A and B are shown apart, each in its own frame.
Chain A
Amino acid sequence: MPLSVSFTATQSVANPNQITLLDTSTGSDSSITVRRVYIQTAEGTYLTGDGTVDYDLWPLPLATGITLDVLTEATAPNVRVDWMDNNTIVYTDTVLYDFDIQIYLALIGLTQTQLSSPAIVQDTNYYNNKIQLMVNVKDSETAVTYNDDIYLAQSSLDRANYMIENSQYYF
């Protein structure tokens, strides 16, 4: 049975800088000797473990997962996996992902602040800004799910990341 390639990538909640890839391919192909993972941002740069090459090697066998510590903020990259016979690509699969756990954790953090300082919700524009943060992250998910548009997704996350990085002005 020939190999039918696919994979999933999941962002960790405990360590949101990390993503874990699982190979969900079915079938087999004895010619596959190595897998490579490319994580390309909307700007065209590659996120890699050591930064020396554009990819990370994903060891065989197929069932082996890999965890990569590559995210510094919420990011919507194209994740490409190549199944290779030495240096020749035999199969490839690319999926646009929305790694936005950091934004949700920031929203959770804001709610925790509300628990300890309930009066904060009375601050001018507090809730409007929190809603805007929510809208930005939902926009990025929509851009990935429905538009399959890396630029729309990343620009939405950029707005959300900016609000978090400058939270003293928004919250």
Chain B
Amino acid sequence: MPSIALTIQIADVSQLLASADVAKGSLFGQKVDPRLPIMLYVENEPLKKIYTADPTYSGLQEIADYVYALCGRYAAKATNIINGGGGGSVAPITPTQNFPIYITSSDFTTATFYPNTRLFGNSIAIFVNELNQYFFEGTGFTVDATGMTVLIPGFDASQYTYNIIIEKVS
């Protein structure tokens, strides 16, 4: 049997789990004594109060064992939740970038920088319509985690209008 302190926590969480099951109803939910959450509360609260005030008070371990037994099948799940295993997690979906991308000078935040965190990791080329020319990474531009920086001499999106196509090349 777990310690008194752990049992108090297990009973608190079991009460919550049992309440949730009771709330689901008897038709579709898991079958559970609808009095269980109340029983757990009424048995656990005095244990909590007396244990907090005097952990050495005689007979508390027997009471704790009884409360733990009342938790029944909820005890294991409650223990897992207390240990940080509750709830699970959802893996975040990494947004993907569709190509080609059509941008203009207004998409640049500086004279040469186009912010787009989804470019990094793609092999791309850009076609600058006003220059009627393809440019490639390393010579025409660089890409990092924050976006693309154009390296073309004289390129200034803050002064000139450009229509650019970003294409994936492999």
Contacts and interface: CB of A to CB of B under 8 A. Distances in A.
A10 B47 CA distance: 18
Contacts of A107: 42, 45-46
Interface residues of B, number: 19
B66 A114 contact: yes
Given A13-B50, A111-B43, 20 more contacts: A10-B53, A11-B53, A13-B57, A14-B57, A104-B45, A104-B46, A104-B49, A107-B45, A108-B46, A108-B59, A111-B47, A111-B63, A111-B66, A112-B59, A114-B66, A127-B38, A127-B42, A130-B42, A131-B42, A134-B46
Interface of B: 35, 38-39, 41-43, 45-47, 49-50, 53-54, 57, 59-60, 62-63, 66
Interface of A: 10-14, 101, 104-105, 107-108, 111-112, 114-115, 127, 130-131, 134, 138
A134 B45 contact: yes
A131 B62 contact: no
Contacts of B46: 104-105, 107-108, 111, 134
Contact of B39 (A12, A101, A105, A127): A127
A-B CB proximity, top 6 nearest: A13-B54, A107-B46, A104-B46, A104-B49, A13-B53, A108-B46
A131 B37 CA distance: 12
B50 A108 contact: yes
5 contacts: A11-B53, A107-B45, A108-B59, A127-B42, A131-B38
Contacts of B43: 111
Contacts of A130: 42
Contacts of B38: 127, 131
Contacts, number: 51
A10 B60 CA distance: 20
A127 B42 CA distance: 9
A112 B62 contact: yes
A99 to B, nearest CB: 11
A111 B42 CA distance: 10
A14 B53 CA distance: 10
A100 to B, nearest CB: 8
